[in-house]
Amino acid sequence: MVVDYNDENSLSYALHGVNLVICTFSGDEQLNLIAAAAQSGVQFFVPSEFEGCLEKRPEIDQLDPYSYSSQARQHLRRCASSQMRWTVFSCGIFMERFLPQGLGSLGIGYGSSLANAGSYILDMGSYTAEYVEKNPRGHTVRVCMTSVDDVAQFVVAAIDMGPASWPHEFTMRGDRLSVRDIVGQCSRALNGKLITRYGWVGLTYQPHFHFLSGKLRTLLAF
């Protein structure tokens, strides 16, 4: 079925009789889908919020400046009167951001300007990296990561449990490394040294606990 995400009637027709919606795209299309799902009687909604945990997530993420995360959550709160429940799957970043061809090689990231190689921390094609080791408080900047496949398996397992038992947020992570260690591992995988440039960013965030077995070394076995 072809759906026009800017057409309320098209969305409402597509959502008729649907109990659970899992969104995998961001932007205005997701906001339209949230509104249509609430009006169409959808009971459970999973927004495209596959990022860090809500508690530590900044309103404006300096590493992902085009993120629609806060807008989507505000939209969901405004739909609270519809009785539609929503759950966020917090997984840190996708490990596949560091693929030589970027997230775009998996058809992911176009809506948030993160599809291309080099759009996040490092570019394995040009042997360059741009990152900070410490935040303004002097703490080491660390990044939580989970592979796309592991996140998908986690979501499927949660569906098998039944959405009625879901909490407001599921948290997971496959690995947690400092930004410096990520760049170092990628350098070793390329058998060379990345040219780095340093700067300052705001506070980082990470999910609550360790889950699943995604490994950076598996990602880099190309």
Q: How many domains does the chain have?
A: 1
pTM of the predicted model, to two decimals? 0.79
For residue 95, give the DSSP letter: G
Identify the CATH number of the domain in which residue 117 sits: 3.40.50
The pLDDT assigned to 123 comes to: 86
Q: Is residue 190 part of a domain?
A: yes
Q: Please report whether residue 3 resides in a domain.
A: no
Whole-Å CA distances, 70 to 49, 108, 165, 172? 9, 20, 24, 20
Task: Assess if residue 113 is contained within a domain.
Answer: yes
Q: Taking 90 as the threshold, does the pLDDT of residue 60 lie above it?
A: no
Residue 42 is which amino acid?
V
pLDDT tens digits, residue range 7-30?
Answer: 988 999 999 999 999 999 888 999
Residue 2 domain flag:
no
Model pLDDT, residue 217: 33
Residue 199 in domain? yes
Mean of pLDDT over the chain = 81
Containing domain of residue 26, as a range? 8-219
Query: Is residue 1, in this structure, part of any structural domain at all?
Result: no
Residue 52: band (very low, low, confident or very high) from pLDDT cuts 50, 70, 90: confident
Does any domain span residue 114?
yes
Q: Which residues contact 124 (CB under 8 A, 6 or more apart)?
A: 98, 99, 100, 117, 186, 190
Residue 22 inside a domain? The answer is yes
Tokens of residue 100, six digits: 């030589």
Q: Are 208 and 53 in contact (CB under 8 A)?
A: yes
- pLDDT computed for residue 63 by the predictor: 54
